[in-house]
Amino acid sequence: MNSYVKKLILALMCNFTIVSFSMLMADPTPPKGNGLEKENPATCPDDPLSLEKFDTNKNGKLDEDERKAWEKAVLDKYDVDKNGILVPAELKKFHGDQHHIEVLAKEKAEHPDGLKGTGLEKEMPSTMAGVEFCLDDFDKNKNGKLDPDERSAWEKAVLKKYDSNKDGYLDSVELEKWKSRKVYGENIAKMRVEENSKPPPPGTGLENEQPSTVSSDPLGLAKYDTNHNGKLDPEERPAWEKDMLARYDENHNGHIDPSELHVWKHGVGHMEGIESGNNPAHTAGKKKTNEKADSDKTSASAQNSENKTTASTSGE
């Protein structure tokens, strides 16, 4: 076999590799179904989407038509972006509501005379200043405790935020959310007390940080990356750091302390969870872009190899 034939075969094999690689990197088949295939209705009759309400023939299960009706009802309520699929964030909300209804039904069964009060009678506000709904915010006469009128105002404020089903009572699920937030606030407050007892270090505390790429973040990269190169250049950074200080520097010491940095990152993480959960295209889009870039590089490399082979052949 002469040199020309060998090089021709090599070029053909290279083209075949490019085509095969492109086929592998093509967009995958979009997911089928609506995300509810492995889900089942709750058995708790208090749930508006329970088995009892959709099992019209009362055979103890969902037949085909009954399941279609149930899935449609679930999608109508939880498919926020109306794409016909329950993505992870929407499924999490669906599961959370199922659990909440079951817990509340159990608590009602344990109190046949009805749930009395607000569920906060044995609870107290945090004594640490700056924590959400803390004692200092409601102790108007500054006697170090909640008098009846002050307690009423405090319970009303907590209920307004944490009583998700608006029944005027904090059940165990809602109460746990408030307690978790209280503990989180106290941990941040403790960090701030320690930070405020020391002079701030030099700089803004943001020198090693980068803005988020979350589209819903008002202090995200898109707002400050004026030359659109995907990063903060030295001349773009001051504007971002100035706005970050204005929003997160709660003790106004000109420095983003660890506690303030934690609050910022916690908020960004929450926004990322919502965006990636409700928009699968957000994650898929990034993956697709990276895959396309890799594919283009491979194709270009293969093409260069082919061109060199052809040039060499022509020279012969």
The model scores a pTM over 0.85: no
Q: Indicate the DSSP class of residue 202.
A: S
Looking at beta carbons, which pairs linking 69-74 to residues 24 or more positions away fall under 8 Å? 70/41, 71/34, 71/36, 73/49, 74/36, 74/39, 74/49
Q: What is the pLDDT along the chain (316 residues), one digit of tens a residue?
A: 555 545 545 544 544 444 343 443 444 444 568 889 999 999 999 999 999 999 999 999 999 999 999 999 999 999 988 999 988 888 989 999 999 999 999 988 988 888 889 999 999 999 998 899 999 999 999 999 999 999 999 999 999 999 998 999 999 999 999 999 999 999 988 988 888 888 888 999 999 999 999 888 899 999 999 999 999 999 999 999 999 999 999 888 999 999 999 999 988 887 877 666 554 444 444 444 344 444 444 444 444 444 444 444 444 4
- Yes or no: say if 120 and 155 are a contact pair by the CB < 8 Å rule: yes
How many CB atoms are located within 10 Å of the residue 189 CB?
A: 16
Rg, C-alpha atoms of the chain: 30
